Amino acid sequence: MQGPKITFEGGEFINFASNDYLGLAGRPEILAAAKTAIDAFGFGGGASRLLGGGSVLHHNLEQRVAEFKSAEAALIFNSGFAANTGIIPCLASEGDALFSDELNHASIIDGCRLSKAKTVIYRHCDVGHLRELVEREKAKRRIVVTDTVFSMDGDIAPLKELYALCLSLTSGPHGRGSLLLYLDDAHGTGVLGSGRGALAHVSLSPKPWIVQMGTFSKALGSCGAFVAGSKEAVEWITNTARSFIFSTAAPACIAAASLKALELVEQEPELNCKLWHNRHMLADALREMDFDTGGSETPVIPLKMDSVGAALDLSAYLFDKGIYAPAIRPPTVKEPRVRIAVTAAHSDEDIASLIDALSDRMKQSARITSR
Ligand SMILES: *Cc1c(COP(=O)(O)O)cnc(C)c1O
């Protein structure tokens, strides 16, 4: 089971690779909700949602998500990957332009490819560069697409600046049509803004020109994804997103699990507090040890290394100490790193074990270099 511990080849390890940020994947309340739904609705989704598939739980979940995101409407997808590859081509087509952060998730990259729109890549989180590219682009419809939290670096997109840029071009005297903002909040949902996501984190409210996507598969410990936005946008997506229309509804038990997870996020704010407590405890210690954690501001913390060898060595060293933290190498990322994901399910002792192991390692390598 997902949790703070993971078993490999008979050995138990503290797991620092899970995106189950709130430790919900194994929560008895969620398992019970899923089991009850299996008894009531059976397992298979039956058919596509538009052809009578799904259940009342799917509808309830959509309503619940809309409330949770303070949006007019929401639609659920079977996965985050299906959401991005389905929605982006609905929003942009031939003759339009998509502006995509260079470190966006693979599913966004594929969504852009499927859209037939021109895709313009801007430098990571560089709003100045983005503005230049946007102003140069003559397309009628222009859409900025970004991860809110970048999954390999743990940094947060410059949301306020992106919002201001889109707002200035949407309400200004520009005759060329507006600028839409598409946010992938996969790692922000349940994590940022007391769980409500990236916009809440920066105290911005939803706008008709913002489309928010998020997943149930990470902090919510379930499966699937959602899009939340204006009624008009969600209706359009419902009737045009191919990964929604031509895919069988997810089992009702998954909707039940996601519903329960949202309820727990609202009822137990202490989960989110524990997550951030753990994050700060670890990040403070890493800073003192002079690790290069890049621009990480979230529970995803990369330990950037000079070489692939160094990343593999550190990961193997931690593994020997009973700690699972995988090395991530090119081409997945440009700079090799050990990627740490801290969760609310880690105990103070789990975090201390990681800090102690890293500290021992630093002392060892300091001894080697000073010899
Ligand atoms: C994980 C992830 C997805 C895909 O979500 P799944 O539900 O796992 O398919 C999409 N976008 C980002 C940024 C992700 O991290």
Q: Check pocket membership of 27 for ligand 1, CB cut-off 6 A.
A: no
pTM: 0.95
Angle between helices 80-91 and 106-115 (to 10 degrees): 30
Q: Check pocket membership of 225 for ligand 1, CB cut-off 6 A.
A: yes
- In 3D space, the residue among 280, 272, 300, 271 whose CA is nearest the CA of residue 156 turns out to be 300
Q: What angle do CA 210, 193, 297 make, to 5 degrees?
A: 100
Q: From its phi and psi, is residue 38 left (phi > 0), alpha (psi between -120 and 50) or beta? A: alpha
Q: Check pocket membership of 247 for ligand 1, CB cut-off 6 A.
A: no
Query: Which tokens is 46 given?
Result: 């039956």
Write down the pLDDT at residue 334.
Answer: 93
**114: burial class by Cβ within 10 Å (0-12, 13-18, 19+)?**
middle
Q: Which residues contact 150 (CB under 8 A, 6 or more apart)?
A: 101, 103, 124, 156, 157, 187, 300
Which of 108, 152, 182, 215 maximizes ligand 1 atoms within 8 Å of its Cβ, making it the mutation to test the pocket?
A: 215
Tell me if 218 sits within 8 A of 187, measured CB to CB. Answer: yes
Write down the pLDDT at residue 175.
Answer: 45
Q: Break the chain down into helix, strand, coil percent, rounded to 5.
A: 45, 20, 35
Which of 2, 81, 110 maximizes ligand 1 atoms within 8 Å of its Cβ, making it the mutation to test the pocket?
A: 81
Which residues are known catalytic residues?
151, 187, 218
- In 3D space, the residue among 232, 198, 200 whose CA is nearest the CA of residue 91 turns out to be 232
Q: Check pocket membership of 80 for ligand 1, CB cut-off 6 A.
A: yes
Nearest CA to ligand 1 atom 10: 80
Write down the pLDDT at residue 250.
Answer: 97
Nearest CA to ligand 1 atom 4: 80
Q: Residue 315: how many CB atoms within 10 A of its CB?
A: 21
Tell me if 250 sits within 8 A of 38, measured CB to CB. Answer: no
Pairing of strands 11-15, 323-324: parallel
Query: Which tokens is 268 given?
Result: 């137990």
* Residue 330, preceding peptide bond in cis (omega within 30° of 0): no
Tell me if 48 sits within 8 A of 247, measured CB to CB. Answer: yes
The pairs formed by 271-274 with CB atoms below 8 angstroms and a separation of 24 or more are 271/22, 271/23, 271/24, 271/344, 272/22, 272/190, 272/191, 272/194, 272/195, 272/344, 274/344
Q: Strands, E, within 192-235: which ranges?
A: 210-215, 225-229
CA atoms lying within 13 Å on the CB side of residue 359: 12
pLDDT in single tens digits along all 371 residues of the chain: 677 899 988 899 999 999 999 999 999 999 999 999 999 999 999 999 999 999 999 999 999 999 999 999 999 999 999 999 999 999 999 999 999 999 999 999 999 999 999 999 999 999 999 999 999 988 889 999 999 999 999 999 999 999 999 988 765 554 446 789 999 999 999 999 999 999 999 999 999 999 999 999 999 999 999 999 999 999 999 999 999 999 999 999 999 999 999 999 999 999 999 999 999 999 999 999 999 999 999 999 999 999 999 999 999 999 999 999 999 999 999 999 999 999 999 999 999 999 999 999 988 877 766 65
Angle between helices 80-91 and 231-240 (to 10 degrees): 100
Backbone angles phi, psi at 119, to 5 degrees: -110, 125
Q: Which helix (H) or strand (E) holds 221?
A: none
Nearest CA to ligand 1 atom 8: 80
Which of 100, 101, 107 maximizes ligand 1 atoms within 8 Å of its Cβ, making it the mutation to test the pocket?
A: 107
